[in-house]
Amino acid sequence: MAKWVYAFGGGTAEGRSEMKNLLGGKGANLAEMANMGIPVPPGFTVTTEVCTYYYDNQQTYPAELKTQVEAAVVQIERIMDCKFGDEKNPLLLSVRSGARASMPGMMDTVLNLGLNDISVEGLAAKSGDPRFAFDSYRRFIQMYSSVVLGIEHHHFEAILDTIKTDRGLKLDTDLTAADWRKVVAAYKEMVAKELGRPFPQNVNDQLWGAVGAVFGSWMNQRAITYRRLHEIPADWGTAVNVQAMVFGNMGEDCATGVAFTRNPSTGINEFYGEYLINAQGEDVVAGIRTPQYLTTEARKTAGADLPAMEEVMPKVFNELAAIRAKLEEHFTDMQDIEFTVQKDKLWMLQTRTGKRTAAAALKIAIDLAKDGVITKEKAIQRIEPNALDHLLHPTLDPKAARNVLARGLPASPGAASGRVVFTAQDAEAWAGRGEKVILVRVETSPEDIGGMHVSQGILTSRGGMTSHAAVVARGMGRACVAGAGEVRIDTRAKTMFSRGHEVKEGDVITLDGSTGEVMLGAVPTVQPELTGDFGTLMGWVDEIRTLKVRANAETPLDARTARRFGAEGIGLCRTEHMFFHPERIIAVREMIMATDEAGRRHALAKIEPYQKNDFVELFEIMAGLPVTVRLLDPPLHEFLPKNEAEMADVARAAGTDVSALRSRNTELHETNPMLGHRGCRLGISYPEIYEMQARAIFEAAVEVSKKSGVTVTPEVMIPLVCTKKEFDLLKEVIDGAAREVFSQRGMTLPYMVGTMIELPRAALVAGKIAETASFFSFGTNDLTQTTLGMSRDDSGPFIEVYRQKGIFEHDPFATLDQEGVGEMVQIAAERGRKTRPDLKLGICGEHGGDPASITFCQKVGLNYVSCSPYRVPIARLAAAQAALGARSDTTA
């Protein structure tokens, strides 16, 4: 008989933490904690396979499920010594979702299930606390009605508000048993009216209704959006966890809380969390009451008045601190935990690998490795390469003036400036127009994640360090200031007020997620330090990786940035970018517009000194590291004069008249410039262009080698080759220039001549091209464009459709299409190396900085990847991970 249900509690469990695929992260870890002897309320997990079955079979369950669930409930009853649905001694249950990867707040939880008009009286009598019993019942009616029956929250809020106002009460905890009885009666009446039938009283109907709602929530819009943003497949399914309730709302010796075993914002090894006395479930994160700190130290640092848990319940706090240590040791990573204290007894309700900022991820991994808890290799595998991006970008200049508008909690670090918007929809609309936005909300909810994703930063006026906004922002790497209570937000009027200022939609503000400050206007930024933990990690990474990492750079600034980030050379210096300078562009246009060789040579002579100087600067900065210079590959249309004034400038320089230029301009117009007279085709038509460039390269190499004493070894690269003959003709031009310069300067330097592989034909005939080419660099932008027959500049809209329809998993211009373009790369690498075993191979397309593509480059045996300077550290880390094999995914 198939096993659909796994029990846990009472010191044992049928599941283990390795069974996340079957039990979901929450269920697997509840089982693991039970096995470790940590107090966990008994319960059971209905597996993700039931979810799959449910969707494969018209939302029905496997036949054996009912009996297995019944048996598991009986086991909970035995351990808890009470009975589900009993009049006098009722067992209450929580029903929670739990997928393989954690999807915080994505699906809803039902607490206090098993209460009805009769059992609530039983609970009141048994506990001697009717206030608690009716508080639990009203929570249950509200949660069940909204999650399972689809009745909106505001109906409940309106009723509660009316009763509170009538009684002149402010806090939920001020309501008496009699008040809650009234609330319950009003809730039930409203539900019956909305629903057309009474609130379900049969506890088994309640249970199956909740189970069905959890499975149903797997396909709700916010779960679908979350999965899309985090690339979680829909067929994973969710598990359902049914667990005995423990009560944090039975009085002053009760509490509920959430914590991280280390600081998830900075990574510092300190116990970090919040709790509330006499509260239940989501009260801590919902922002209804101000949560209190766990440790005395954190309370003092924050200057908070309300006492810390360490002060109020020291004994339970110490137990919790011991569990903190035990969990970290066991899971060897920072944990995100949830707990409840019922009458001074501690219960753990959840543990999972905690989400953290990039800075915290780095610090935690390095600290754990230094403490010997994990290996260096493991530390390297734990860090998502793309997350490093957040550490490489500027932070607010500490010396800049700050016009502070408000202060909130430093919920997620980073500096962000942008225009204020007040709804997630507006954030998406404004961002769609290319605006940088800051999303300002009283508090965020899972419906807002699309808007949070496109924002630079998030500001809320309510909620703590573990509020939805804070958790999601840290996960997404967005700056966040949470709970800035002094900010008054009027969402409808789209304005906010603070410290006497009014900020309207579209006004610019700056957030400092590390201090919690909110500033008016944009505050200038500074470059980050690349030492400390970052330096340590990069050192470890460099010991392990075998792929070299170069940068795509042509300006001195880019080259210096690349070196600062640890680039081991330049993999692509695009010479056409050097031609755009205002003082050169006229000569460049003159060259393009010239109708004969003499005219071109005349213009080229003007450009040559500039070219040489460019290369001198680059070679000096790179100090002997390899530099691959790609000869001119101009999209001609970008260089042509665009108006009469530019036309006149060129005519003057060339000594011709404007009308002649105009007809030449028409002649040069191309229907499809990307497939036109570009790349080496231009060099074939007008060899004098490449001859000038080659001369400038060798002149510069000789000059810098002489001056610095370090030998410069230029790598000259010919673009857009598709036949061996093209390559050979142009190689002869380059060799000729080298001979000429070396004999004139009395110095010979080593150099290489190679080609881009960016056309399918070149990949296919790579074996022949390698007879004379000594290196290949895969230009995967053009290679993707030409292999797929899709224009990179025009494909955006339909690639999005292709992704939505599942035709493409990724944008092929961002992540290498391994099946198609990858095959081209592999063929070229194999055929090239067969001819020339020491053929040097690299990649210089956008893909050179994409971690998944880098793994592929390692597999195919490339020597190096080349990417934009800011991605160099990311590529170094990705290369180390590729050398180590798959990245370890520790997400619970």
Q: What angle do CA 650, 653, 655 make, to 5 degrees?
A: 100
Residue from the set 282, 426, 554, 614 that interacts with ligand ADP by CB under 6 A: 282
Instruction: Spell out, one character per residue from 57 to 96, where the chain touches Mg ion: x when CB under 5 A holds, - when not.
Output: ----------------------------------------
Could you say whether residue 633 binds ligand ADP (CB under 6 A)?
Answer: no
Choose the contact partner of 94 out of ligand ADP, Mg ion, none; CB within 5 to 8 A by kind.
ligand ADP
Helix (H) or strand (E) holding 241: strand 238-244
Could you say whether residue 246 binds ligand ADP (CB under 6 A)?
Answer: yes
Helix axes 724-745, 687-708, angle to 10 degrees: 40
| Shortest distance, position 503 Cβ to ligand ADP, whole Å | 32
Please give the full DSSP string across 742-805, using - where no structure is assigned: HHHHT-----EEEEEE-SHHHHHTHHHHTTT-SEEEE-HHHHHHHHHT--TTT-HHHHHHHHHT
**Closest to 519 in 3D by CA, of 624, 637, 418:** 418
Residue from the set 50, 80, 101, 111 that interacts with ligand ADP by CB under 6 A: 111
| Shortest distance, position 890 Cβ to ligand ADP, whole Å | 18
Could you say whether residue 245 binds ligand ADP (CB under 6 A)?
Answer: yes
Alpha carbon 635 to its chain's center: 34
Could you say whether residue 513 binds ligand ADP (CB under 6 A)?
Answer: no
| Shortest distance, position 338 Cβ to Mg ion, whole Å | 5
3-state SS class at 393:
coil
Residue 223, C-beta contacts closer than 8 angstroms, at least 6 positions apart: 103, 106, 107, 217
**Closest to 493 in 3D by CA, of 478, 480, 506, 504:** 504
Residue from the set 119, 249, 256, 611 that interacts with ligand ADP by CB under 6 A: 256
Pair type for strands 238-244 and 93-99: antiparallel
Closer CB to ligand ADP, 338 or 428, in the complex: 338
Could you say whether residue 340 binds Mg ion (CB under 5 A)?
Answer: no
Q: How many residues bind Mg ion (CB under 5 A)?
A: 3
Site for Mg ion in 343-402 (CB under 5 A): 350
Contact between residue 691 and residue 808 where contact means Cβ atoms under 8 Å apart: no
| Shortest distance, position 570 Cβ to ligand ADP, whole Å | 48
Backbone angles phi, psi at 39, to 5 degrees: -65, 115
| Shortest distance, position 282 Cβ to Mg ion, whole Å | 7
Closer CB to ligand ADP, 217 or 787, in the complex: 217
Considering only 103-111, 503-511, 602-610, 798-806, which stretch makes contact with ligand ADP by CB under 6 A? 103-111
| Catalytic residue (choose from 82, 254, 390, 468) | 468
Alpha carbon 699 to its chain's center: 46
Alpha carbon 663 to its chain's center: 52
Residue 862 vs residues 173, 376, 380, 617, 859: alpha-carbon distances, Å: 65, 25, 21, 28, 8
Q: In the complex, which residue's CB is closest to ligand ADP?
A: 96
The upper half-sphere exposure of residue 193, i.e. CA atoms within 13 Å in the direction of its Cβ, equals 8
CA distance 790 to 799: 10
Closer CB to ligand ADP, 246 or 763, in the complex: 246
Catalytic status, residue 844: yes
Considering only 48-56, 108-116, 363-371, 877-885, which stretch makes contact with Mg ion by CB under 5 A? 108-116
Considering only 337-345, 428-436, 445-453, 566-574, which stretch makes contact with Mg ion by CB under 5 A? 337-345
Closer CB to Mg ion, 464 or 849, in the complex: 464
Could you say whether residue 9 binds ligand ADP (CB under 6 A)?
Answer: no
| Shortest distance, position 102 Cβ to Mg ion, whole Å | 8
Residue 725, C-beta contacts closer than 8 angstroms, at least 6 positions apart: none
| Shortest distance, position 210 Cβ to ligand ADP, whole Å | 12
Please give the full DSSP string across 570-617, using - where no structure is assigned: EEEEEGGGGG-SHHHHHHHHHHHH-SSHHHHHHHHHHHHHHHHHHHHH
Could you say whether residue 109 binds Mg ion (CB under 5 A)?
Answer: yes
Instruction: Spell out, one character per residue from 779 to 798, where the chain touches ligand ADP: x when CB under 6 A holds, - when not.
Output: --------------------
| Catalytic residue (choose from 82, 573, 844, 867) | 844
| Shortest distance, position 226 Cβ to ligand ADP, whole Å | 12
Alpha carbon 170 to its chain's center: 40
Choose the contact partner of 111 out of Mg ion, ligand ADP, none; CB within 5 to 8 A by kind.
ligand ADP
Could you say whether residue 349 binds ligand ADP (CB under 6 A)?
Answer: yes
| Shortest distance, position 96 Cβ to Mg ion, whole Å | 7
Residue from the set 119, 136, 238, 243 that interacts with ligand ADP by CB under 6 A: 243
Closer CB to ligand ADP, 470 or 766, in the complex: 470
| Shortest distance, position 258 Cβ to ligand ADP, whole Å | 6
Considering only 241-249, 306-314, 618-626, 762-770, which stretch makes contact with ligand ADP by CB under 6 A? 241-249
Token digits of residue 563: 């070196």
Token digits of residue 556: 């001195």
CA R_g for the chain: 33
Closer CB to ligand ADP, 274 or 517, in the complex: 274
Choose the contact partner of 281 out of Mg ion, ligand ADP, none; CB within 5 to 8 A by kind.
ligand ADP
Q: How many residues bind ligand ADP (CB under 6 A)?
A: 17
Backbone angles phi, psi at 61, to 5 degrees: -105, 155
Choose the contact partner of 691 out of ligand ADP, Mg ion, none; CB within 5 to 8 A by kind.
none
Residue from the set 15, 24, 41, 760 that interacts with ligand ADP by CB under 6 A: 41
Contact between residue 234 and residue 54 where contact means Cβ atoms under 8 Å apart: no
Choose the contact partner of 340 out of Mg ion, ligand ADP, none; CB within 5 to 8 A by kind.
ligand ADP
Could you say whether residue 463 binds ligand ADP (CB under 6 A)?
Answer: no
CA distance 581 to 869: 21
Could you say whether residue 238 binds Mg ion (CB under 5 A)?
Answer: no
Catalytic status, residue 722: no
Residue 38, C-beta contacts closer than 8 angstroms, at least 6 positions apart: 323, 326, 327, 348
3-state SS class at 807:
coil
Site for ligand ADP in 700-719 (CB under 6 A): none
Closer CB to Mg ion, 109 or 552, in the complex: 109
Could you say whether residue 109 binds ligand ADP (CB under 6 A)?
Answer: yes
Considering only 286-294, 331-339, 433-441, 860-868, which stretch makes contact with Mg ion by CB under 5 A? 331-339
Helix axes 532-544, 358-370, angle to 10 degrees: 70
| Shortest distance, position 355 Cβ to Mg ion, whole Å | 12
What count of residues does the chain have? 892
- Within a 10 A sphere around the Cβ of 33, how many other Cβ atoms? 25
Closer CB to ligand ADP, 281 or 779, in the complex: 281
Closer CB to ligand ADP, 109 or 116, in the complex: 109
Residue 355, C-beta contacts closer than 8 angstroms, at least 6 positions apart: 102, 104, 264, 336, 471, 474, 475
Tell me the helices (H) and strands (E) count for the chain, helix number first: 36, 34
Choose the contact partner of 283 out of ligand ADP, Mg ion, none; CB within 5 to 8 A by kind.
none
CA distance 127 to 114: 16
Please give the full DSSP string across 250-280, using - where no structure is assigned: SSTT-EEEEEESS-TTT--SS-EEEEEES--
Residue from the set 350, 455, 575, 777 that interacts with ligand ADP by CB under 6 A: 350
CA distance 137 to 131: 10
Residue from the set 263, 340, 444, 510 that interacts with ligand ADP by CB under 6 A: 340
**Residue ranges in contact with Mg ion by CB under 5 A:** 109, 338, 350
By the criterion CB under 6 A, which residues form the site for ligand ADP?
A: 41, 94, 96, 104-105, 109, 111, 243, 245-246, 256, 281-282, 338, 340, 349-350
The residues assigned a catalytic role are 468, 844
